[in-house]
Amino acid sequence: MSEAEIVVATGAMPQNLGMLPEGEAADQVVRRGAAIATSLAKVIEQQRLFVSIQGRKYIRFEGWATLGAMLGVVVREVRVVRLEQGYEAEVELVKVGSGEVISRASALCLRDEPRWQDQPEYAIRSMAVTRAAGKAFRLAFAWIVGLAGYEGTPAEEVEGVVEVARPASPPRTTPARSEAKPVQEADVSIPLWCD
C-alpha cells in the first residue's frame, strides 16, 4: 500500500443513530464500529487520553474529539449562557462538508463544584462547552467507545463526582530534524461515515 487507505462509506449517516443505514446489515455496522474502536483504543492508550476512576477507564475529551476526527464529525458551539453560578453551554456535532447535525447536547459548569469554585470565568465557560461536547459525542457514539473497552461517559462528566487517578503522561519528545521521517503508509484502514 503506497498511501494511507481510508474507506469512506457512501451515503449519509442516519439522522437517528439507532437506525441502520438503508441496505446495511447490523453485522456490517458492528464490524465497522469495531474497526474504528480498535484504531481509537490504540490512540487513547498511546496518548493516555483517559482517566481511571474506581478501576474503570473514562475517555477525556481529546479522545472523543479524536473519534470525531476519525468519523468526519466536529463540534459547533450553539450557545453559552452566563448563569449566576457559572455557565450552561449547548453544542452540536456536525458532519464536515455537509454540515448535517449528528447530535446535540447541553451541559453546566458551576462554582458550587469544589474544583471550579475559585477558577476564572473563562475556565468555567470553557469547561461547560467541553462537557456539552463530550456529552454530544457520548449520545451519538458511546457504542463505539464501549466496543473499544472504555466507559461511555466522558471523563469530564465524572471528574469531581468521584476521585480521579490520572495515568502518567507519556514523555513528549520531538525528534531531531534528521530523525523525522514522513509518513508514507498507514497500518490501519478506518471506515468512516463521511460523504
pLDDT tens for the chain, 195 residues long, are 333 333 333 334 444 344 446 667 788 888 888 999 999 999 999 999 999 988 999 999 999 999 999 999 999 999 999 999 999 999 999 999 999 999 999 999 999 999 999 999 999 999 999 999 999 999 999 999 999 999 999 999 887 654 444 445 555 554 444 443 433 333 333 444 443
For 144, the domain range is 27-160
Backbone torsion region of residue 86, taken as left when φ is above 0, otherwise alpha when ψ lies between -120 and 50, otherwise beta: left
Using alpha carbons, list the distances in angstroms from residue 113 to 25, 50, 109.
Answer: 45, 21, 8
Cell of 44: 487513547
pLDDT of residue 12: 40
52 within some domain: yes
What contacts 143, CB < 8 A, 6 or more positions away? 33, 152
- Among all chains, which residue has been given the C-alpha cell 475556565? 123
56 within some domain: yes
How far apart are the C-alpha atoms of 88 and 37, rounded to whole Å? 31
Question: Is 29 in a helix, a strand, or coil?
Answer: helix
How far apart are the C-alpha atoms of 75 and 91, rounded to whole Å? 7
Strand partners, 58: 51, 151
118 within some domain: yes
72 within some domain: yes
4 within some domain: no
How far apart are the C-alpha atoms of 80 and 14, rounded to whole Å? 28
How far apart are the C-alpha atoms of 141 and 56, rounded to whole Å? 18
Q: Does residue 49 contact residue 63 with C-beta atoms inside 8 Å?
A: yes
146 within some domain: yes
User: Residue 43 corresponds to which amino acid?
Assistant: V
Quote the number of domains for the chain.
1
User: Residue 146 corresponds to which amino acid?
Assistant: G
Residue 118: exposed, middle, or buried by beta-carbon count in 10 A (0-12, 13-18, 19+)? Answer: exposed
192 within some domain: no
How far apart are the C-alpha atoms of 65 and 47, rounded to whole Å? 13
CATH number at residue 91: 3.30.390
181 within some domain: no
What contacts 181, CB < 8 A, 6 or more positions away? none
